[in-house]
């Protein structure tokens, strides 16, 4: 991804990115205020417009930037040769928590953008959604079913595991809300996560090989 924005100092880049994520997540495209963004980021409005002459250009850049992070640092760091659901979920949750520590509202912004209906950007966002949906489909489409006990409904077991872990990670997304950010202790979060995984292994797996 190339853009003159990346000539800006990295610390200032991240301040602006997080300020824009916050404003668009809070208000959506049409009501988002560039005045609020520059105030939050601690930069001049002239500097913002130097890099992004229009709000539309800023929004679409931010969407591409956020999606690139997801592609590179979320999906891109997953070992897809590992077919064990629990081992794959360990990777997913850790990747998500690392991203949240740097960009607390990135996932919230992408969720909001997914349903954005502003005419000015709707068509562009819809065109970009296909890659998001394809990546999400790949996450669990090739899970090793032979890991699960034969006397259970395997699809329901997988749903229970995924829904629980999604709720677990969403707790941290909600913790880092529009008005309050808090640094996530990833080591402590992963320790808590292991308690769920150990329970799922006991309930649904044939062996304890995923420990």
Each residue of 46-59: pLDDT tens digit? 999 999 999 999 99
Domains and CATH numbers, the chain: 4-204 (1.10.357.10)
Give the residue ranges of DSSP H helices in the chain.
Answer: 10-31, 34-41, 45-51, 55-69, 85-102, 106-114, 119-138, 154-175, 186-204
DSSP code for 208: S
For residue 80, give both structure tokens: 């897809």
What is the average per-residue pLDDT within 11-15? 91
pLDDT of 211 higher than 50: no
Question: 48: closest CA among 33, 70, 67?
Answer: 33
Q: In the structure encoding, which two tokens stand for residue 144, read together?
A: 């090793």
Determine the average pLDDT of the residues in 188-209: 90
pLDDT band at 20 (very low <50, low <70, confident <90, very high): very high
Q: Residue 153 class from Cβ within 10 Å (0-12 exposed, 13-18 middle, 19+ buried)?
A: exposed
């Amino acid at each position: 991804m190339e853009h003159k924005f990346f000539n800006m100092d990295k610390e200032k880049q991240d301040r602006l990115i997080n300020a824009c994520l916050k404003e668009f997540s809070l208000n959506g495209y049409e009501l988002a205020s560039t005045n609020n963004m520059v105030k939050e980021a601690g930069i001049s409005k002239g500097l913002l417009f130097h890099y992004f002459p229009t709000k539309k250009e800023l929004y679409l850049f931010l969407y591409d930037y956020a999606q690139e992070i997801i592609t590179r640092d979320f999906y891109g760091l997953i070992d897809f040769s590992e077919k064990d659901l629990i081992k794959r979920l360990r990777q997913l949750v850790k990747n998500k928590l690392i991203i949240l520590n740097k960009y607390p509202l990135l996932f919230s912004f992408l969720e909001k953008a997914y349903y954005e209906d502003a005419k000015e950007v709707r068509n562009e966002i819809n065109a970009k959604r296909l890659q998001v949906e394809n990546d999400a489909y790949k996450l669990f489409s090739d899970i090793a079913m032979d890991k699960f006990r034969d006397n259970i409904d395997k699809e329901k077991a997988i749903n229970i595991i995924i829904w629980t872990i999604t709720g677990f990670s969403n707790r941290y997304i909600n913790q880092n809300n529009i008005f309050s950010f808090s640094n996530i202790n990833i080591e402590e979060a992963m320790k808590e996560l292991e308690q769920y995984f150990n329970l799922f292994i006991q309930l649904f797996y044939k062996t304890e090989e995923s420990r």
